Structure 1
Amino acid sequence: MAKASRGSARRSARAGWRDRHGRGIRASVTGPRLPRLHTRADIFESTVASTAEYLRDLWPAELSNVHFEIAALPAADAGSRRVRRWLVLPAEHRIILFRLPIERLARLHRNDDLHRRMLVESCVFRAVAELLGKDPWDLAPERFRHF
């Protein structure tokens, strides 16, 4: 009867912590010493959060208990040919922003970080304006007066 080689015993002892095919657990793409990459979803989420915080500072009484949520896609609506960008639920004090329709269906004249951020901010402004029953330009009038 053949003896088990020392290497096979070592492999079986480590099999509990190793990934499939014996390659080990996967590491971060950027490595251990570099910061993680920012994905489009992370950037979208931070833009929504900072815009919501800005609007909460301007309208504390009206937006104190409003929850901002992010979903990938809206539920299918058979009666409509339009794709929703956001959903406002006033009874539940919720605003749901749909990331993929906002990002993918936009027709930006310049596709860079600044214009993508402005697109997301404008969607948050329009959703909050719909919730409050106001014009989006009335939410932060001092922000747009540069004279």
Structure 2
Amino acid sequence: MMWRRTREPEPEPRRMSRHGRHGRLGRSPVIRPPLPPLETRMERFDLAVGTSAEFLRSAWPELREVRFEVADMPQASTEHGIPRWTVLRDAKRIILYRLPIERLSHLHRNDDLHKRIMIEGCVFRASAEYLERDPWDLGPDRFRF
């Protein structure tokens, strides 16, 4: 008598749903999705205003009590156009308007350095208007090389 050993058929391995048609894992994309910027335009604007204001406060005691504020847009335009800042001497406030400064200023080079210089220039001019001085008098040592 011949013994025949019968093997039970092995169950087919089940493919997982994440495998492709050739049995391999799904491939990851070549590049990753774009990451959010590390800092936004508003944060860069606030940083430029804050550092300029701190420099001016340390140089001019008259500005130590003044609050530098950032707003998006002024309430209304004047006969001279859209203001970039508002000086309120009685309330000891200087309000800088972010959108007019960023969008209506014409730069000869549109990069981060020139944008920051333009923002700092607006802070200096607004502070000079508050102090009733020339903007170049506020930080003469800052511009000497």
TM range (shorter): 0.7 to 0.9
Q: Deviations over 1:9-37 (max 9, x none)?
A: xxxxxxxxxxxxxxxxxxxx848xxxx62
Determine the structure 1 residue equivalent to 2:54.
53
Coordinate RMSD, CA, aligned: 1.6
SS of the residue corresponding to residue 92 of structure 1 reads coil
Determine the structure 1 residue equivalent to 2:111.
112
Contact 2:89-2:130 at 8 Å conserved across structures: yes
State TM-score, norm by structure 1.
0.72
Structure ranking higher in helix proportion? 1
* Aligned-partner residue type, residue 85 of structure 1: R
Instruction: Determine which structure has more spread, i.e. the larger CA radius of gyration.
Output: 2
Determine the structure 2 residue equivalent to 1:127.
126
SS of the residue corresponding to residue 75 of structure 1 reads coil
State the Cα distance separating 1:142 from its structure 2 match: 1.1
* Aligned-partner residue type, residue 64 of structure 2: S
Note the 1:74-85 alignment, pairs <5 A. Answer: 74-77=74-77, 80=79, 82-85=81-84
Q: Distance in 2 between matches of 1:46 and 1:106?
A: 18
Q: How many residues align?
A: 112
Q: Distance in 1 between matches of 2:139 and 2:52?
A: 11
State the Cα distance separating 1:64 from its structure 2 match: 1.2
